[in-house]
Structure 1
Amino acid sequence: MDMIGIMFRGMAMGITEVVPGVSGSTVAMILGIYDRLVYSLSILTTNKRKEAIPFLSIFGLGMAIGFVSALFVIDFLLTNYRTPTLMFFVGIIIGFLPYLWKEALYQSKGYFELKHYSIIGISFCVVIIGQFIGDINNFDVNNLSIIDYMFLVSAGFIASIALVLPGISGALILTILGIYEIASDSLMTLRFPIIFAIFLGIFLGVLLTSRLIRYFLKNHFLETYSVMIGLVGGSIFAILNNLNGVVNSQIIIISTISLIAGITLVLILKQNQSNSIG
């Protein structure tokens, strides 16, 4: 795979990581680069790290370009068309949940038991609790405490899991934790302390969790997917919790269309993924 191809694949994954509910790892699978990405991340803490650096440098540059470009588009949409945009995100999540469920059963060749439903329920509740924590924090971006910075680092750490775990996006995790818009605003206005705290968490997470996630997917597949299903399902609450503004008949119609568009996007992505695998 040439350098330009790697960079464009990185750009595609960077764009999807801005959108809550669209998994960059899923897009990486569609583009045929997922296995190489996970392998490269997993050897960063080994003596084989030099093997991964060229690929990750090019891929990371493309991902950064795509991420920043999409960030400004999403910010414009949230500022001017907040409710329809958020409902588009909800549509993506609604469309993806059945596939996530089927993927868990297909890959594991098993079925959900009581413990798995319990994990789903607990994960769902974690999302709700995360929303309350976000409301309690009420970050003053100009006067952050040590506790605030620790929370931001932790959020980045958790969000890094999305880079290697299919079915969930970093933006979705930040939405669950109630800091998605704080993170995106900070990137666009160059609030470096907040940017550094979140990216420090992401960096540490990539180094420490890539092999751990591979272990759980290999040895506790259904349990891992149960956590994902609970988090993704609960994120619908997280997004709806952030709705505000005037609601009228026009907004309802546009939001309904955007909801359907989100579901349709997932159907197209999954169809392309099936074709690429086939």
Structure 2
Amino acid sequence: MTSPGSTRADAAPDLPTHDPARRPGLWRFLLDVLRGALVGSVETVPGVSGGTVALVVGLYDRLIASLGHMVSGVKDWLIGTIRRDRSRAARAAWNFRRVHWWTLLPVGIGMVVALAVMAGIMSRLVEEHPVQTSAAFFGMVLASLYVPFSMVSRWRLRDLPVTLAAFAAAFALVSLPPSGAAEPNALQIVLAAAVAVSALILPGLSGSFLLLTFGMYEVTLGAVRDRDFGYIGLFFLGAVLGMVTVIKGLQWLLEHHFHLTLVILTGVMAGALRALWPWTGEDNALQPVGEHAGAALGWAIAGFLAVALTILVERLAARAAGRRAGSLDPGVSGLPGRAG
């Protein structure tokens, strides 16, 4: 089913098993709040993907479809208003009717509350135990590399130079010394949020990890913890812009260049691991293994196992959903570019 005046390629997928306009009961509402809290909690942890957790708890398809319809609806409404085009207004209304508002509302409530609580906890851990938390994050991201790697159906010899180039570019980028600025400016906040929100579209990619590679993870946690509404407002603006631009662009790449996108993403995530090495100097230079080495190793292993277990649960859940549906590809349900 497509919208008025649109083609199949323009429309986000419909989900006939869930009626977007149907108001849920109290228990379903509270369940979605809890699901949102789970997604929001892991969004503060580099290496653990909110998209993966959304898949595990059964929210991913509805969230991505709803975001797609919402962005398309806003775009059609703006164009229709400016041009006074009734067909565009009709397409906007069609898209808005297909947004699962009664899913987005409780999930959004749960995510906001969880983010506010977890930001304070994670901020204290990063400040008081930097080596241990960096080691745990390193193990988490190392394990999450399996997601884009495994989504490439067949690795070819010609993929190796592309992956190595992506690895080298990411490694060089996160090796740059600090700029010396005490606080990021407004443009940096908006751009970082726009890129970080792209992690919603791809399970395995962590928004907090992206912020960490930009050097903005701690300051963002601190802003949420201290209720810095100026920073939060700029971050929210960047997230909205990212949904309109970056997410749509990534969706297009996954639909049209799925293999190449995942090959590059694997290299980028591997190269960016350099940002999580627990021992670095003030100029961001790598240092040899230092204090708390035993504890760091233990936390790295624990982080690796935690993410590996999450991925395993997600794959088992996807296989079960695939058997019920009879036509889904186990392990990649709901991901663009792998259907059909």
TM-score range, shorter chain: 0.7 to 0.9
Q: Larger relative contact order (C-alpha < 8 A, sep ≥ 6)? A: 1
Q: Does 1:77 align with 2:141?
A: no
For residue 293 of structure 2, what is the aligned residue in structure 1? Answer: 252
- TM (normalized to structure 1)? 0.86
In the TM superposition, what is the alpha-carbon distance from 1:172 to its structure 2 partner?
0.8
For residue 243 of structure 2, what is the aligned residue in structure 1? Answer: 206
Structure 2 distance, partners of 1:242, 1:160, is: 28
Aligned partner letter, 1:260: I
In the TM superposition, what is the alpha-carbon distance from 1:270 to its structure 2 partner?
1.7
Structural mapping, 1:236-275, within 5 Å: 236-240=273-277, 243=280, 247-248=290-291, 251-275=292-316
For residue 333 of structure 2, what is the aligned residue in structure 1? Answer: none
In the TM superposition, what is the alpha-carbon distance from 1:120 to its structure 2 partner?
2.6
For residue 22 of structure 1, what is the aligned residue in structure 2? Answer: 48
> Whose helix fraction is larger, Structure 1's or Structure 2's?
1
Q: Does 1:124 align with 2:161?
A: no
For residue 156 of structure 2, what is the aligned residue in structure 1? Answer: 112
Q: 5+ unaligned residues in a row in structure 1: which ranges?
A: none
Structure 1 distance, partners of 2:279, 2:68, is: 35
Q: 5+ unaligned residues in a row in structure 2: which ranges?
A: 1-23, 74-91, 283-288, 320-340
- Which residue, 35, 43, 48 being the options, matches 1:9? 35
Structural mapping, 1:84-233, within 5 Å: 84-105=132-153, 110-114=154-158, 116-131=159-174, 135-136=178-179, 138-141=180-183, 148-233=185-270
Would the aligned equivalents of 1:83 and 1:244 in 2 still touch at CA under 8 Å? Answer: no
Aligned partner letter, 2:140: I
In the TM superposition, what is the alpha-carbon distance from 1:198 to its structure 2 partner?
2.0
Rg larger for: 2
Percent of residue pairs bearing the same amino acid type: 24
Count of residue correspondences: 265
Aligned partner letter, 2:62: R
Would the aligned equivalents of 2:195 and 2:246 in 1 still touch at CA under 8 Å? Answer: no
Deviations 1:193-237 (A, max 9, x none): 322222211111113333332222222111121232122212210
Structure 1 residues 61 and 273, CA gap change in structure 2 (3 angstroms): same
Structure 2 distance, partners of 1:241, 1:268, is: 23
RMSD of equivalent CA atoms: 2.3
Structure 1 residues 6 and 134, CA gap change in structure 2 (3 angstroms): farther
DSSP 3-state at the match of 1:44: helix
Deviations 1:156-193 (A, max 9, x none): 11111011122111101111111111111122123333
Deviations 1:219-264 (A, max 9, x none): 211112123212221221012277469943xx11111110110111
Would the aligned equivalents of 1:17 and 1:24 in 2 still touch at CA under 8 Å? Answer: yes
Structure 2 distance, partners of 1:72, 1:213, is: 31
Aligned partner letter, 1:40: S
Aligned partner letter, 2:57: L
Aligned partner letter, 1:163: L
Structure 1 residues 129 and 196, CA gap change in structure 2 (3 angstroms): farther
Deviates more, 1:199-208 or 1:53-62: 53-62
In the TM superposition, what is the alpha-carbon distance from 1:129 to its structure 2 partner?
4.4
Structure 2 distance, partners of 1:133, 1:272, is: 37
For residue 69 of structure 2, what is the aligned residue in structure 1? Answer: 43
For residue 13 of structure 2, what is the aligned residue in structure 1? Answer: none
Aligned partner letter, 2:58: G
Would the aligned equivalents of 2:42 and 2:49 in 1 still touch at CA under 8 Å? Answer: yes
Deviates more, 1:181-190 or 1:205-214: 205-214
Structure 1 distance, partners of 2:215, 2:46, is: 12
Structure 1 distance, partners of 2:36, 2:177, is: 30
Would the aligned equivalents of 1:86 and 1:239 in 2 still touch at CA under 8 Å? Answer: yes
Deviates more, 1:91-100 or 1:259-268: 91-100
Would the aligned equivalents of 1:87 and 1:258 in 2 still touch at CA under 8 Å? Answer: yes
